[in-house]
Each structure stands twice: as C-alpha cells, then as structure tokens.
A = this chain, B = another copy of it.
Amino acid sequence: MSQEKTVYSKLRSMILNGAFDAGERLTELKVCEALGVSRTPVRAALLQLASQNLVIGQSNRGYTVRGITVEDVWGANVVRSVLEGAAAGMVAREGVDGDVRDTLEQSLKDYGQLARHVELSDDFLNNHSAANRVFHETIVSASKNESLFRSIETLAYMPVQINRVVFASDRDFAIQTVQSGLAEHQSVLAAMLSGDGMAAELLMRTHSQKALRGIEHVQGVLGLGPEYRQMPFHKFIGGLGISVVAAE
C-alpha cells in the first residue's frame, strides 16, 4: 500500500492530466508497460481508482477511463459544500468543544495574518491552503461522524481544491477571495458558538460553494462559452498553463 502507491499515484496523475482519452480501454498490460512494473501493483492501483470512480471496471473485461469533466468537479464541490454545511450544523447543535474552539480561533488568526498581504508565492499559497484546511477539517472532525469525514475525504479524490489553481490566474481575484473567506469563516464560527445550527449550516454551505466561483472565474478568464462544463477538466485547467494535481 506504500510503494504500490507510487504506481497508483502515477497512474492517477496520468489519468487526471489526460494521458488517456475518455472512455479509452485501459488494459493492465498497457499500464504495466507505461509504468514499467508488473501486473500485481497495477491491479491494486486500478482497484483503488475504480473505487474513486476515475476508472470504470467490469467483470472479466477490465477497465475504461472515466473522463473527468468540469461538471464532475463542479458536482463534487457541490456535494462537499453540502456535507461541510451539515457538519457545521451538527457541531453548532451539539456545542463546540473547548479545544475545537481554540483550534478554529487560531486558524482564524493565521488566516487573518495572511489576508493582510496576499501574495501569489508558493509560500503564501501553502500557508493559506493550510489555514483554510485546518478550519474546514476541524469542523468536519468535530462533527464526530466518521461517515461524514470519509465521504468528504473520498470527494477529495476528485480535484476539488481549485482555489490554488485559480489564484494563479488573477491576483485581484485571490485578494478578494481570501478576504471574503476570512469574513465567512468568522461568521460560520460565530453561528456555531451561538448554537444556531441552521445558520451555521447555511453559512458554511454558502462559503464552501465559493470554490464554484473559482471555476466560473476561470471560465471568464479563458472566455469560454456555456458548453465549458462538458470540457475535460484537465484541458480546462490546462488553459491556464497548469496541470492537475489533486489531493492524496
């Protein structure tokens, strides 16, 4: 599960970046040759990718690659926002533990520091990403619902973290997103602390959906028509000169 992860990881990256056509038959041998390993680790990788819906497996007939469109990424983000909203609502209703509150407030401080001078350096993007992740993951964990946690984690197998990509395309958009993000985090936390589950859920959901704005923004930058949602995601992102690097 570790060294094989390299195989898995490479294959995954290849698929996400369009090394194979959508719907293309993916024989084990083809992958073996492409990666220079035997069938055993390839089979394991394909099984995992199938559980993430990146390839589609049929009994005794191997796998085909499932092309990821912009709409797929959009849809995954919608689901994520629904789940994160639910998590916030649950935490609000059950009450916020002291240490959870501390962690969230600390992440707000970090986030606030960053919001003061937005850069597009790798350092900044990493720090921003980290502070943002702490906030979101802390809330999900605090819901103490393993299925909820896992569902969101599984979604991350899709390329859901697109802000980082989008930021690179437009500094003003980055500044605006970071600053409004801070305000939204604050209002989510306030709602959770006041025990208002409904408000916390809606605020968190709305905030989470901001990722969709990033997609629309890229559409605008690239001047794409309304049919862009059917585009392969890697081509969409490729328009910015960036390749797809998803979590895990």
A interface residue numbers (CB < 8 A to B):
1-2, 5, 40, 43-44, 47-48, 51, 53, 57-60, 72, 75-76, 78-79, 82-83, 86, 90, 145-148, 150-151, 154-155, 158
Contact = CB atoms under 8 A, between A and B. Distances in A.
B147 A79 contact: yes
A51 B53 contact: no
Given A78-B90, A79-B148, A147-B158, 17 more contacts: A1-B58, A1-B59, A2-B60, A43-B44, A44-B44, A72-B147, A75-B145, A78-B86, A78-B147, A78-B148, A79-B86, A79-B151, A82-B86, A83-B83, A147-B155, A151-B155, A154-B154
Nearest to A151: B151
B148 A75 contact: yes
A65 to B, nearest CB: 15
Contact of A146 (B43, B44, B60, B75): B75
Chain multiplicity (copies): 2
A58 to B, nearest CB: 7
A221 to B, nearest CB: 25
8 contacts: A2-B59, A44-B47, A48-B51, A75-B145, A75-B147, A78-B86, A79-B86, A79-B147
Contacts of A40: 40
A1 B62 CA distance: 9
Given A53-B150, A57-B1, A151-B154, A145 B47 contact: no
